[in-house]
Structure 1
Amino acid sequence: MKKASILMIIGPLFLLGLYMFPLWNIMLGAPQYPEPLGMNIHIDGIQGVSEFDIQNIDGLNHYIGMRHLPKPEDMWEFSTFPLVIGGMVALGVLIGLLGFFGKVSYKWFLGWFVLMSVLGVLGMYDFNAWMVDYGTNLDPNAIMKLTNPDGSPMSYKPPLFGHAKMLNFDVTSLPHTGGYLMFVGMMLTVVAFFVGKKASQAIN
Protein backbone atom coordinates (compact mmCIF):
# COMPACT_ATOMS: atom_id res chain seq x y z
CA MET A 1 0.00 0.00 0.00
CA LYS A 2 2.94 2.34 0.63
CA LYS A 3 4.05 2.13 -3.02
CA ALA A 4 0.51 2.92 -4.17
CA SER A 5 0.29 5.82 -1.73
CA ILE A 6 3.56 7.31 -3.00
CA LEU A 7 2.17 7.20 -6.55
CA MET A 8 -0.99 8.87 -5.24
CA ILE A 9 1.09 11.65 -3.71
CA ILE A 10 3.15 12.17 -6.86
CA GLY A 11 0.21 12.11 -9.31
CA PRO A 12 -1.63 15.25 -8.15
CA LEU A 13 1.67 17.15 -7.98
CA PHE A 14 1.83 16.98 -11.78
CA LEU A 15 -1.15 19.34 -11.81
CA LEU A 16 1.14 22.06 -10.50
CA GLY A 17 2.43 22.26 -14.06
CA LEU A 18 -0.80 24.07 -14.92
CA TYR A 19 0.52 27.09 -13.02
CA MET A 20 3.58 27.22 -15.31
CA PHE A 21 2.46 25.88 -18.68
CA PRO A 22 -0.61 26.43 -20.90
CA LEU A 23 -3.52 24.04 -20.60
CA TRP A 24 -4.61 24.41 -24.23
CA ASN A 25 -3.42 25.93 -27.50
CA ILE A 26 -5.30 27.27 -30.53
CA MET A 27 -3.40 28.08 -33.73
CA LEU A 28 -4.71 29.97 -36.77
CA GLY A 29 -2.86 29.60 -40.05
CA ALA A 30 -3.61 31.35 -43.36
CA PRO A 31 -1.71 32.20 -46.56
CA GLN A 32 -1.35 35.84 -45.50
CA TYR A 33 0.28 34.76 -42.23
CA PRO A 34 3.53 32.85 -42.92
CA GLU A 35 3.87 32.55 -39.14
CA PRO A 36 0.54 31.26 -37.76
CA LEU A 37 -1.25 33.25 -35.09
CA GLY A 38 -1.74 31.45 -31.82
CA MET A 39 -3.10 31.75 -28.32
CA ASN A 40 -2.27 29.71 -25.27
CA ILE A 41 -5.07 29.18 -22.77
CA HIS A 42 -3.75 29.11 -19.21
CA ILE A 43 -5.86 28.43 -16.14
CA ASP A 44 -5.59 32.13 -15.26
CA GLY A 45 -5.78 33.84 -18.65
CA ILE A 46 -5.05 33.84 -22.38
CA GLN A 47 -1.66 34.73 -23.84
CA GLY A 48 -0.42 35.02 -27.41
CA VAL A 49 2.07 32.47 -28.67
CA SER A 50 4.06 35.37 -30.12
CA GLU A 51 4.20 38.95 -28.88
CA PHE A 52 1.51 40.49 -31.10
CA ASP A 53 -0.72 37.45 -31.70
CA ILE A 54 -3.54 38.56 -29.39
CA GLN A 55 -3.53 42.04 -30.92
CA ASN A 56 -3.64 40.59 -34.45
CA ILE A 57 -6.38 38.08 -33.61
CA ASP A 58 -8.50 40.85 -32.03
CA GLY A 59 -7.94 42.94 -35.16
CA LEU A 60 -9.21 40.16 -37.41
CA ASN A 61 -12.15 39.48 -35.10
CA HIS A 62 -13.20 43.12 -35.26
CA TYR A 63 -14.00 42.84 -38.98
CA ILE A 64 -16.40 39.93 -38.51
CA GLY A 65 -18.00 41.24 -35.32
CA MET A 66 -16.37 39.02 -32.71
CA ARG A 67 -15.56 40.44 -29.30
CA HIS A 68 -12.02 41.03 -28.07
CA LEU A 69 -10.41 38.06 -26.38
CA PRO A 70 -11.19 38.21 -22.66
CA LYS A 71 -8.72 39.48 -20.10
CA PRO A 72 -8.40 37.60 -16.79
CA GLU A 73 -10.75 40.01 -15.05
CA ASP A 74 -13.43 39.48 -17.72
CA MET A 75 -14.08 35.81 -16.84
CA TRP A 76 -14.69 34.34 -13.40
CA GLU A 77 -13.10 31.10 -14.57
CA PHE A 78 -9.63 32.64 -14.63
CA SER A 79 -9.78 33.41 -10.91
CA THR A 80 -11.61 30.19 -9.96
CA PHE A 81 -9.64 27.55 -11.87
CA PRO A 82 -6.32 28.18 -10.06
CA LEU A 83 -8.13 27.72 -6.72
CA VAL A 84 -9.81 24.51 -7.91
CA ILE A 85 -6.52 23.05 -9.16
CA GLY A 86 -4.75 24.00 -5.93
CA GLY A 87 -7.53 22.39 -3.90
CA MET A 88 -7.38 19.18 -5.92
CA VAL A 89 -3.60 18.98 -5.57
CA ALA A 90 -3.85 19.43 -1.80
CA LEU A 91 -6.68 16.89 -1.55
CA GLY A 92 -4.79 14.33 -3.64
CA VAL A 93 -1.60 14.67 -1.61
CA LEU A 94 -3.59 14.43 1.62
CA ILE A 95 -5.31 11.22 0.45
CA GLY A 96 -1.93 9.80 -0.53
CA LEU A 97 -0.45 10.62 2.88
CA LEU A 98 -3.44 9.12 4.69
CA GLY A 99 -3.08 6.01 2.57
CA PHE A 100 0.62 5.80 3.37
CA PHE A 101 -0.16 5.74 7.08
CA GLY A 102 -3.03 3.29 6.61
CA LYS A 103 -5.83 5.73 7.42
CA VAL A 104 -7.73 5.34 4.13
CA SER A 105 -8.02 2.53 1.57
CA TYR A 106 -6.87 2.51 -2.05
CA LYS A 107 -10.48 3.15 -3.10
CA TRP A 108 -10.01 6.79 -2.15
CA PHE A 109 -7.40 7.06 -4.92
CA LEU A 110 -10.03 6.23 -7.53
CA GLY A 111 -12.44 8.63 -5.84
CA TRP A 112 -10.00 11.48 -6.38
CA PHE A 113 -9.61 10.51 -10.03
CA VAL A 114 -13.39 10.44 -10.56
CA LEU A 115 -13.82 13.84 -8.89
CA MET A 116 -11.01 15.33 -10.98
CA SER A 117 -12.51 13.81 -14.14
CA VAL A 118 -15.92 15.34 -13.38
CA LEU A 119 -14.32 18.75 -12.79
CA GLY A 120 -12.37 18.35 -16.04
CA VAL A 121 -15.51 17.55 -18.02
CA LEU A 122 -17.31 20.54 -16.49
CA GLY A 123 -14.33 22.74 -17.35
CA MET A 124 -14.33 21.56 -20.97
CA TYR A 125 -18.09 22.09 -21.19
CA ASP A 126 -17.69 25.63 -19.87
CA PHE A 127 -14.82 26.33 -22.27
CA ASN A 128 -16.83 25.04 -25.23
CA ALA A 129 -19.89 27.08 -24.20
CA TRP A 130 -17.71 30.19 -24.08
CA MET A 131 -16.36 29.46 -27.58
CA VAL A 132 -19.90 28.95 -28.92
CA ASP A 133 -20.96 32.33 -27.54
CA TYR A 134 -17.71 33.95 -28.68
CA GLY A 135 -18.03 32.61 -32.22
CA THR A 136 -21.77 33.08 -32.80
CA ASN A 137 -22.83 36.16 -30.80
CA LEU A 138 -21.54 38.67 -33.36
CA ASP A 139 -21.87 42.43 -33.67
CA PRO A 140 -24.69 43.09 -36.19
CA ASN A 141 -22.83 46.24 -37.31
CA ALA A 142 -19.65 44.36 -38.21
CA ILE A 143 -17.79 45.38 -41.37
CA MET A 144 -18.06 41.86 -42.81
CA LYS A 145 -21.29 39.85 -42.60
CA LEU A 146 -20.72 36.37 -44.01
CA THR A 147 -23.42 33.71 -44.30
CA ASN A 148 -23.65 30.01 -44.94
CA PRO A 149 -25.09 28.72 -48.28
CA ASP A 150 -28.53 28.52 -46.63
CA GLY A 151 -28.37 32.18 -45.66
CA SER A 152 -27.80 31.68 -41.94
CA PRO A 153 -25.04 33.67 -40.24
CA MET A 154 -21.68 31.95 -40.33
CA SER A 155 -20.29 30.70 -37.03
CA TYR A 156 -16.66 31.34 -36.14
CA LYS A 157 -16.48 28.96 -33.19
CA PRO A 158 -13.03 27.35 -33.01
CA PRO A 159 -13.01 23.55 -32.58
CA LEU A 160 -12.77 22.30 -29.02
CA PHE A 161 -10.37 19.60 -30.16
CA GLY A 162 -8.80 19.00 -33.54
CA HIS A 163 -8.84 20.94 -36.82
CA ALA A 164 -11.42 23.05 -38.63
CA LYS A 165 -11.50 25.31 -41.68
CA MET A 166 -12.81 28.82 -41.00
CA LEU A 167 -12.85 30.99 -44.13
CA ASN A 168 -9.24 30.86 -45.33
CA PHE A 169 -7.91 29.97 -41.88
CA ASP A 170 -6.88 26.52 -40.72
CA VAL A 171 -7.67 26.38 -37.00
CA THR A 172 -6.11 23.73 -34.78
CA SER A 173 -7.05 23.27 -31.13
CA LEU A 174 -5.05 20.84 -28.98
CA PRO A 175 -3.88 20.34 -25.40
CA HIS A 176 -0.59 22.02 -24.44
CA THR A 177 2.10 21.05 -21.93
CA GLY A 178 -0.03 21.74 -18.85
CA GLY A 179 -2.84 19.60 -20.24
CA TYR A 180 -0.52 16.67 -20.86
CA LEU A 181 1.00 16.99 -17.39
CA MET A 182 -2.49 16.94 -15.89
CA PHE A 183 -3.32 13.80 -17.89
CA VAL A 184 -0.14 12.04 -16.73
CA GLY A 185 -0.84 13.00 -13.12
CA MET A 186 -4.39 11.69 -13.29
CA MET A 187 -3.23 8.42 -14.85
CA LEU A 188 -0.73 7.96 -12.03
CA THR A 189 -3.59 8.04 -9.54
CA VAL A 190 -5.34 5.29 -11.53
CA VAL A 191 -2.13 3.25 -11.41
CA ALA A 192 -1.98 3.93 -7.67
CA PHE A 193 -5.50 2.53 -7.32
CA PHE A 194 -4.64 -0.73 -9.08
CA VAL A 195 -1.31 -1.09 -7.25
CA GLY A 196 -3.14 -0.55 -3.96
CA LYS A 197 -5.85 -3.02 -4.92
CA LYS A 198 -3.27 -5.67 -5.80
CA ALA A 199 -1.43 -5.09 -2.53
CA SER A 200 -4.68 -5.37 -0.58
CA GLN A 201 -5.62 -8.62 -2.31
CA ALA A 202 -2.16 -10.06 -1.58
CA ILE A 203 -2.61 -9.35 2.14
CA ASN A 204 -6.06 -10.92 2.21
Structure 2
Amino acid sequence: MKKASILMILGPLFLVGLYVFPLWTIMLGAPQYPDPLGIHIHIDGIRDVNEFDIQNIDGLNHYIGMKTLPKPEDMWEFSTFPIIIGVMVFLGSLIGLLALIGKLKYPWFLGWFLIMSVLGVLGMYDFNAWMVDYGTNLDPNAIMKLANPDGTPMTYKPPLFGHTKMLNFDVTSLPATGAWFMFTGMMLTVVAFFLGRKHQRSKRLFT
Protein backbone atom coordinates (compact mmCIF):
# COMPACT_ATOMS: atom_id res chain seq x y z
CA MET A 1 0.00 0.00 0.00
CA LYS A 2 3.01 2.24 0.51
CA LYS A 3 3.79 2.54 -3.23
CA ALA A 4 0.13 3.21 -4.03
CA SER A 5 -0.08 5.92 -1.37
CA ILE A 6 3.09 7.63 -2.58
CA LEU A 7 1.73 7.68 -6.13
CA MET A 8 -1.50 9.16 -4.80
CA ILE A 9 0.48 11.92 -3.11
CA LEU A 10 2.53 12.63 -6.23
CA GLY A 11 -0.25 12.42 -8.82
CA PRO A 12 -2.22 15.49 -7.73
CA LEU A 13 1.02 17.48 -7.42
CA PHE A 14 1.42 17.23 -11.21
CA LEU A 15 -1.60 19.55 -11.45
CA VAL A 16 0.64 22.32 -10.09
CA GLY A 17 1.99 22.44 -13.66
CA LEU A 18 -1.26 24.14 -14.65
CA TYR A 19 -0.10 27.25 -12.78
CA VAL A 20 3.00 27.42 -14.99
CA PHE A 21 2.14 25.93 -18.37
CA PRO A 22 -0.80 26.56 -20.74
CA LEU A 23 -3.75 24.19 -20.69
CA TRP A 24 -4.68 24.62 -24.37
CA THR A 25 -3.23 26.22 -27.49
CA ILE A 26 -5.05 27.56 -30.55
CA MET A 27 -3.00 28.38 -33.66
CA LEU A 28 -4.08 30.28 -36.79
CA GLY A 29 -2.02 29.91 -39.94
CA ALA A 30 -2.51 31.67 -43.27
CA PRO A 31 -0.41 32.55 -46.34
CA GLN A 32 -0.06 36.15 -45.15
CA TYR A 33 1.25 34.92 -41.80
CA PRO A 34 4.36 32.77 -42.35
CA ASP A 35 4.64 32.58 -38.57
CA PRO A 36 1.19 31.45 -37.38
CA LEU A 37 -0.71 33.51 -34.83
CA GLY A 38 -1.57 31.75 -31.62
CA ILE A 39 -2.94 31.97 -28.11
CA HIS A 40 -2.12 29.95 -25.03
CA ILE A 41 -5.10 29.40 -22.74
CA HIS A 42 -3.98 29.20 -19.11
CA ILE A 43 -6.22 28.54 -16.12
CA ASP A 44 -5.87 32.22 -15.17
CA GLY A 45 -5.96 33.98 -18.55
CA ILE A 46 -5.11 34.04 -22.25
CA ARG A 47 -1.58 34.86 -23.42
CA ASP A 48 0.28 35.27 -26.72
CA VAL A 49 2.19 32.42 -28.28
CA ASN A 50 4.38 35.10 -29.90
CA GLU A 51 4.53 38.76 -28.98
CA PHE A 52 1.58 40.77 -30.37
CA ASP A 53 -0.38 37.66 -31.41
CA ILE A 54 -3.42 38.65 -29.33
CA GLN A 55 -3.27 42.20 -30.70
CA ASN A 56 -3.11 40.88 -34.27
CA ILE A 57 -5.92 38.36 -33.73
CA ASP A 58 -8.15 41.03 -32.20
CA GLY A 59 -7.39 43.29 -35.16
CA LEU A 60 -8.43 40.60 -37.65
CA ASN A 61 -11.52 39.69 -35.65
CA HIS A 62 -12.67 43.31 -35.58
CA TYR A 63 -13.35 43.20 -39.31
CA ILE A 64 -15.74 40.26 -39.06
CA GLY A 65 -17.43 41.44 -35.87
CA MET A 66 -15.91 39.08 -33.30
CA LYS A 67 -15.33 40.27 -29.77
CA THR A 68 -11.85 40.92 -28.47
CA LEU A 69 -10.22 38.08 -26.59
CA PRO A 70 -11.20 38.28 -22.91
CA LYS A 71 -8.90 39.58 -20.21
CA PRO A 72 -8.71 37.70 -16.89
CA GLU A 73 -11.18 40.10 -15.26
CA ASP A 74 -13.72 39.51 -18.05
CA MET A 75 -14.34 35.84 -17.20
CA TRP A 76 -15.10 34.36 -13.78
CA GLU A 77 -13.39 31.14 -14.85
CA PHE A 78 -9.96 32.75 -14.74
CA SER A 79 -10.32 33.53 -11.03
CA THR A 80 -12.19 30.34 -10.10
CA PHE A 81 -10.20 27.64 -11.91
CA PRO A 82 -6.92 28.30 -10.02
CA ILE A 83 -8.80 27.89 -6.73
CA ILE A 84 -10.46 24.65 -7.86
CA ILE A 85 -7.13 23.20 -8.98
CA GLY A 86 -5.51 24.21 -5.70
CA VAL A 87 -8.28 22.51 -3.71
CA MET A 88 -7.99 19.32 -5.77
CA VAL A 89 -4.19 19.22 -5.37
CA PHE A 90 -4.56 19.60 -1.61
CA LEU A 91 -7.33 17.00 -1.31
CA GLY A 92 -5.58 14.46 -3.50
CA SER A 93 -2.26 14.72 -1.69
CA LEU A 94 -4.06 14.63 1.67
CA ILE A 95 -5.85 11.42 0.66
CA GLY A 96 -2.51 9.88 -0.31
CA LEU A 97 -0.91 10.96 2.96
CA LEU A 98 -3.77 9.60 5.07
CA ALA A 99 -3.61 6.33 3.14
CA LEU A 100 0.14 6.17 3.79
CA ILE A 101 -0.43 6.27 7.56
CA GLY A 102 -3.31 3.80 7.34
CA LYS A 103 -6.23 6.18 7.86
CA LEU A 104 -7.85 5.74 4.42
CA LYS A 105 -8.32 2.89 1.95
CA TYR A 106 -7.51 2.75 -1.75
CA PRO A 107 -11.12 3.38 -3.02
CA TRP A 108 -10.61 7.03 -2.07
CA PHE A 109 -8.02 7.22 -4.85
CA LEU A 110 -10.64 6.40 -7.45
CA GLY A 111 -13.06 8.84 -5.83
CA TRP A 112 -10.60 11.69 -6.29
CA PHE A 113 -10.00 10.66 -9.92
CA LEU A 114 -13.74 10.60 -10.67
CA ILE A 115 -14.31 14.04 -9.14
CA MET A 116 -11.37 15.44 -11.12
CA SER A 117 -12.73 13.83 -14.29
CA VAL A 118 -16.16 15.41 -13.79
CA LEU A 119 -14.54 18.80 -13.20
CA GLY A 120 -12.48 18.33 -16.36
CA VAL A 121 -15.57 17.52 -18.45
CA LEU A 122 -17.39 20.54 -17.04
CA GLY A 123 -14.37 22.70 -17.79
CA MET A 124 -14.27 21.50 -21.40
CA TYR A 125 -18.01 22.11 -21.76
CA ASP A 126 -17.58 25.65 -20.45
CA PHE A 127 -14.61 26.25 -22.74
CA ASN A 128 -16.57 25.05 -25.77
CA ALA A 129 -19.58 27.21 -24.81
CA TRP A 130 -17.31 30.24 -24.65
CA MET A 131 -15.93 29.47 -28.12
CA VAL A 132 -19.46 29.07 -29.52
CA ASP A 133 -20.40 32.51 -28.19
CA TYR A 134 -17.09 33.97 -29.34
CA GLY A 135 -17.48 32.64 -32.87
CA THR A 136 -21.22 33.19 -33.43
CA ASN A 137 -22.25 36.28 -31.45
CA LEU A 138 -21.00 38.78 -34.02
CA ASP A 139 -21.36 42.54 -34.24
CA PRO A 140 -24.12 43.26 -36.79
CA ASN A 141 -22.27 46.44 -37.79
CA ALA A 142 -19.05 44.64 -38.66
CA ILE A 143 -17.05 45.85 -41.65
CA MET A 144 -17.23 42.41 -43.31
CA LYS A 145 -20.44 40.37 -43.30
CA LEU A 146 -19.79 36.98 -44.80
CA ALA A 147 -22.38 34.30 -45.49
CA ASN A 148 -22.42 30.56 -46.13
CA PRO A 149 -23.50 29.26 -49.57
CA ASP A 150 -27.05 28.82 -48.22
CA GLY A 151 -27.19 32.47 -47.19
CA THR A 152 -26.88 31.98 -43.43
CA PRO A 153 -24.33 34.15 -41.60
CA MET A 154 -20.90 32.58 -41.40
CA THR A 155 -19.66 31.62 -37.93
CA TYR A 156 -16.08 31.44 -36.73
CA LYS A 157 -16.05 29.04 -33.80
CA PRO A 158 -12.58 27.48 -33.36
CA PRO A 159 -12.57 23.70 -32.97
CA LEU A 160 -12.51 22.35 -29.44
CA PHE A 161 -10.00 19.74 -30.56
CA GLY A 162 -8.31 19.29 -33.90
CA HIS A 163 -8.19 21.31 -37.12
CA THR A 164 -10.63 23.27 -39.24
CA LYS A 165 -10.53 25.77 -42.09
CA MET A 166 -11.98 29.26 -41.56
CA LEU A 167 -11.76 31.52 -44.58
CA ASN A 168 -8.09 31.33 -45.57
CA PHE A 169 -6.95 30.38 -42.05
CA ASP A 170 -6.02 26.91 -40.85
CA VAL A 171 -7.09 26.76 -37.21
CA THR A 172 -5.69 24.09 -34.91
CA SER A 173 -6.75 23.58 -31.30
CA LEU A 174 -4.82 21.10 -29.14
CA PRO A 175 -3.96 20.35 -25.51
CA ALA A 176 -0.79 22.06 -24.32
CA THR A 177 1.85 21.20 -21.72
CA GLY A 178 -0.38 21.92 -18.73
CA ALA A 179 -3.02 19.50 -19.99
CA TRP A 180 -0.41 16.74 -20.26
CA PHE A 181 0.76 17.45 -16.72
CA MET A 182 -2.85 17.10 -15.56
CA PHE A 183 -3.39 13.92 -17.58
CA THR A 184 -0.20 12.35 -16.20
CA GLY A 185 -1.14 13.23 -12.64
CA MET A 186 -4.62 11.77 -13.03
CA MET A 187 -3.26 8.57 -14.55
CA LEU A 188 -0.88 8.18 -11.61
CA THR A 189 -3.88 8.19 -9.27
CA VAL A 190 -5.51 5.44 -11.36
CA VAL A 191 -2.32 3.38 -11.11
CA ALA A 192 -2.33 4.07 -7.37
CA PHE A 193 -5.88 2.72 -7.14
CA PHE A 194 -5.02 -0.55 -8.91
CA LEU A 195 -1.83 -0.98 -6.88
CA GLY A 196 -3.85 -0.44 -3.70
CA ARG A 197 -6.45 -2.96 -4.77
CA LYS A 198 -3.77 -5.49 -5.69
CA HIS A 199 -2.11 -5.03 -2.30
CA GLN A 200 -5.43 -5.47 -0.50
CA ARG A 201 -6.22 -8.69 -2.40
CA SER A 202 -2.76 -10.08 -1.71
CA LYS A 203 -3.19 -9.23 1.96
CA ARG A 204 -6.48 -11.19 2.10
CA LEU A 205 -4.88 -14.25 0.50
CA PHE A 206 -2.26 -14.48 3.22
CA THR A 207 -4.54 -13.80 6.19
Same fold (TM over 0.5): yes
Structure 1 CA distance for aligned equivalents of residues 167 and 92 of structure 2? 45
TM value normalised by structure 1:
1.00
**What secondary structure sits across from 1:109 in the alignment?**
helix
Structure 1: state its 5+ residue gaps: none
| 1:35-114 superposed matches below 5 A | 35-114=35-114
Secondary structure of 2:50's aligned partner: coil
Q: TM-score, normalised by structure 2?
A: 0.98
- 1:2 Cα offset (Å): 1.0
| Identical counterparts, % of pairs | 79
Task: Tell me by how many angstroms 1:63 deviates.
Answer: 0.2
SS at structure 2 position matched to 1:8: helix
Superposition RMSD in Å = 0.3
Which residue identity lines up with residue 177 of structure 1 in the other structure? T
Matched, 1:171 2:144: no
Looking at structure 2, the residues matched to 111 and 151 of structure 1 have their Cα atoms a distance apart, in angstroms, of 50
Distance in 2 (CA, whole Å) between partners of 1:166 and 1:8 is 43
CA distance in 2, matches of 1:3, 1:21: 28
How many pairs does the alignment contain?
204
The AA in structure 2 aligned to 1:2 is K
Aligned partner of 1:186 in structure 2 is 186
Cα offsets for 1:109-160 (capped at 9, x unmatched):
0000000000000000000000000000000000000111111111100000
Amino acid at match of 1:176: A
Runs of 4 or more consecutive aligned structure 1 residues displaced over 6 Å after TM superposition: none
Matched, 1:145 2:113: no
1: CA distance, partners of 2:146 / 2:48:
26
Tell me how far apart the structure 2 counterparts of residues 105 and 147 of structure 1 sit (CA, whole Å). Answer: 59
Secondary structure of 2:27's aligned partner: strand
Q: Give 2:137's aligned amino acid.
A: N
Shift of 1:203: 0.3
Aligned-partner Cα distance in 2 for 1:175–1:69: 19
DSSP 3-state at the match of 2:143: coil
CA–CA separation in structure 1 for the residues paired with 2:62 and 2:48: 17
